[in-house]
Amino acid sequence: MSGTFAPAPGAAPLARQVLAQASMEARLMLRNGEQLLLAVVIPVIVLVGAVRGAERVGLELDGPAVDVLTPGVLALAVMSTAFTSLAIATGFERRYGLLKRLGASPLSRTGLLAGKVGALLVVEVLQFAVIATVGLVLGWSPSISVVGVLLTTVVGTAAFASLGMLLAGTLRAEATLAAANLVYLLLMAGGAVILPISAYGGLGDVVQWLPSGALGEAARAVCDGSVPWRDLGVLAVWAVAGSAATARWFKWE
C-alpha cells in the first residue's frame, strides 16, 4: 500500500533526545556501585559522624546540630552526585570513545548536559529519601519550603553538573579523576556546604559566593521554610557560566 512504510528520516525532537539520554544515564548510575557509594553511603556517614561529633567537640551552631547539619549533608549529596560522580563518569566515557559516538549523533552538547542533569535529579530523589530518613531518626525537625527545595535542587544540580561536564570535557580521564576528588574534598572541608558560613568567620564573606556555599546556605534556608533568592541567584550565575563554558570548550574526544 502506498505510503504505509514511507521513511521519515531526521532527528527526533530535542525533548525526546534529552529524555532518552536521561533515562539511559539514570539506569547506568543506579547500576554503578561505586557511584552509589559516593552518592549515598558517604553522605550518610558524614551526617551521623558530624551530628555525634558536634556535641563532643563543642561546635557552636545557630541551632541543634542535626537541624543545621542535615541540610548541609543534603547539599553535599547534590555536590557529590552532580559534580564528582558526573565528572569522573563522563571523563572515562570520553576516554573510552563513548562520547565520540554520541558526538556523531544529533545530540548536542547542551542536550547531553540536559540529559545528564535529568538523570542526576532521579538519583538525588533516592539520596534525599535516605539522608532525610537518617536525619529524622537522629531528631531532625525541618520546616520545608517545597518551592525552595525544588528550585534549589534543580538550579544547584545544573550549576555543579555544568562544572563537572566542563572538567570532564577538557581534561584527560585520570586528571579529571584527581581534580574532581580534590575539588570535592576542598569544598566539603572549606566551602561552607556542610557548616554554615557563620562558622567560617571572615572567610564566610568569600565562600558564600562559591557554588558550594550558595548551595549549603540555600539548603539550610529551604529546610527552615524560606526561599533563598540570593543563593539561588548565585547558583544560577554559576549554572549559566558553566553551561556556556561547557558548550564552548567541551570536547567529545
The pLDDT profile of the chain, 253 residues, written as one tens digit per residue, is 555 666 666 666 667 777 877 777 777 777 766 666 667 788 888 888 888 887 777 667 777 888 889 999 999 999 988 898 889 888 887 887 776 776 666 667 777 777 877 888 888 888 899 999 999 999 998 999 999 999 999 999 999 999 998 999 899 989 999 999 999 999 988 888 988 888 888 888 889 999 999 999 999 999 999 999 999 999 999 999 999 998 888 887 7
Instruction: Output Rg (C-alpha) for the chain, integer angstroms.
Output: 19
In a domain, 4, yes or no: no
Count of structural domains, the chain: 1
How far CA 10 is from CA of 13, 105, 165, in Å, comes to 9, 11, 27
Domain range for 39 is 14-249
In a domain, 177, yes or no: yes
In a domain, 184, yes or no: yes
In a domain, 243, yes or no: yes
In a domain, 1, yes or no: no
